[in-house]
Homo-oligomer: A and B are copies of this chain.
Amino acid sequence: MTSEHNQRLAALRAALKARGLDGFLIPRADEHLGEYVPESAERLAFITGFTGSAGLAIVLADRAAVWSDGRYVLQLDQQTDAALWERLHVMETKPEDWLAEHAAGKRIGYDPWLISAEGLKRYARSEMVPVETNPLDEIWLDRPAGPMAAAVPQLEAYTGESSAEKRARLGASLREAGQDATILSDPASLAWLFNIRGADVEFTPIALGFALLFADGTASLFMAAEKLPVETRAHLGNQVELADRTALPAALAALAGKIVRYDPAAMPVWFKTALQSAGAKIAEGQDPVALPRATKNAVEQAGTRAAHLRDGAAVVRFLAWLAQAAPTGAETEISAATRLLAERAKEDHFKGESFPAISGAGEHGAIIHYRVTPESNRPIKPDEVYLIDSGAQYLDGTTDITRTIWTGPGPAPADIKDHVTRVLAGHIALAQLVFPEGVAGPHIDALARAALWQAGLDYDHGTGHGVGSYLSVHEGPAGISRAAKPVPLAPGMILSNEPGFYLPGAYGIRLENLVLVQHANFPAQKRKFLRFETLTLAPFDRALITPSLLSAEALSWLNQYHARVYAELSPLLDAPTRAWLAAASATI
């Protein structure tokens, strides 16, 4: 691995020198700046070896550094060569500071397709030079071709609104804002707007492409022709002009004099430059799809409830199996995850996992984004903590659930139960919260942590992320985290509620349900309040809960939740599983 990455680094340096560049920026990103990128865009992994979902490298002539965040500290050290790379944490050493320090007066190249305008702005102290073609692609001789999966229609029975209606609605909002058109570079925005789904990347049913939406509700969709079968073309209709990705520069050049929305935080800076060159006027603003996509309509809400019911049945069958299997020590992290996947695959409308399952026994549970491999796989042993965070894509909804299990057969130690119960108290504090309109995720994140904080404990990840409707399991714009943008929570948003606690080298705890923002009705109040409807249906492990540490209100919530889990799932289960669930969800 060392010599291979050594050669690649040397080749890149030679390529940079040939272009008159002193350095190059390599974000972990594709042209859509999303979380899941196709293999063909895994340039960061190619050059550094690091395969985490967030990272960045900077290569200079005489030094190179690679960054990631708290989730990947260990993985970054394991996968990259210290002789080639400084391995840095983005919160401790900012890449822009490192660059300003080590490359003063140097010409640093970047690929304008792989960074947003705001992302680029951070490097304003350095001399940043856009490249026409990515020098990494020159030296990556066996780079895979881009994905070419077919885009298929997503039926209105699941979306609740036709593409024409969506385009008319968003076109009207563009007109209201005095804008002629908007760039769309997020494939999940295309999926929502055109009611299509694809298979270009793992876990998220998107078809890679770009689009222009115009104020009159018409659109241009830039997607390779071979990805658009006849039925999809018919579905898109004659208000959507189809063109190849290569037609994009000409289409932007035709926007001279138009006012075009561009999201400087989320869209490649290439678009900004192209619009400016074309003589278009840029109206900075968020992707107009982001908020409508996040606020699910009644049909999508019914769909996600149905998906969660089936997913809950599959998860409960898995948990009932695990309760038998775990104390034997015969199962492993991989075999358990495989079993859960098999249970889900039995359900209607199942399309695959929504992200790589995190199946972590004992100390592996403390690695927040642990992904089991054949090398890391280990048995699930008796009397330890086992964490499984997984989710599925169904045609009618996306799921994401984490449960933390005591494998038994012995009782769990009091300190572990104390930690789990504090995490549960935080989970419940959010689950039962009522809050006025205007409140955003960063404002309520602390409620999920306060019980841990009182004991000097915390967790190094956000409390919640948005979730799509048979789309991305990590969907913007709202999130429950101090670092999230303060996007007011709104009815129809689906978010995760997943506080945790991690004792490195020992165990990890995370308790995650998805919740749906709903109106809370207080008669005689002028002010509008909201609440969370919990979507996920599966019991929390009673073996890890110390009821006396929960407030009366929290315990009451837990018992009501468990009663609901039993009432909704038991009709779907066979007798032995139903009996297991009855015991697992009995009143505490």
Contacts and interface: CB of A to CB of B under 8 A. Distances in A.
A16 B422 CA distance: 64
Contacts of A458: 436, 527
A490 B183 CA distance: 42
A180 interface: no
A551 B455 CA distance: 18
Assembly stoichiometry (copies): 2
B529 A443 contact: no
B450 A433 contact: yes
A543 B166 CA distance: 57
A459 B522 CA distance: 16
Contact of A447 (B434, B446, B522): B446
Interface string A502-531: 000000000000000000101001010100
Contacts of A520: 456
Given A439-B482, A443-B442, A456 B551 contact: no
A434 B435 CA distance: 22
A445 interface: yes
A89 to B, nearest CB: 15
A406 B344 CA distance: 60
Interface string A446-464: 1101100111111000000
A423 to B, nearest CB: 16
A290 interface: no
A83 B453 CA distance: 55
Nearest to A551: B551
Contacts of A457: 525
Contact of A442 (B442, B453, B522): B442
A444 interface: yes
Chain A, interface size category, equals 20 to 34
Nearest to A456: B522
A443 B456 CA distance: 17
A438 interface: yes
Contacts of A522: 455-456
Given A443-B442, A443-B443, A453 B435 contact: yes
Given A439-B446, A443-B445, A453 B482 contact: no
B453 A434 contact: yes
A443 B527 contact: no
A453 B433 contact: yes
Contact of A482 (B443, B449, B450, B525): B443
A94 B444 CA distance: 27
Contacts of A482: 438-440, 443, 486
A571 to B, nearest CB: 32
Interface string A198-218: 000000000000000000000
Contact of A446 (B446, B453, B486): B446
A527 B436 CA distance: 32
Nearest to A523: B456
Contacts of A433: 450, 453-454
Most buried by B among A443, A453, A527: A453
B453 A436 contact: yes
Interface string A334-347: 00000000000000
Max chain B CB contacts within 10 Å: which of A444, A446, A447, A449?
A446
Contacts of A440: 482
A499 to B, nearest CB: 14
A216 to B, nearest CB: 25
Contacts of A525: 456-457
A434 B454 contact: yes
Contacts of A449: 435
A439 B482 CA distance: 8
Nearest to A429: B450
A587 to B, nearest CB: 22
Nearest to A435: B453
Contacts of A438: 482
Contacts of A551: 551
Instruction: Kindly list the 5 A-B residue pairs having the minimum CB-CB distance in the complex, ordered from nearest.
Output: A456-B522, A456-B525, A434-B453, A443-B446, A444-B446
8 contacts: A435-B450, A435-B453, A442-B442, A443-B482, A446-B447, A447-B447, A455-B522, A456-B520
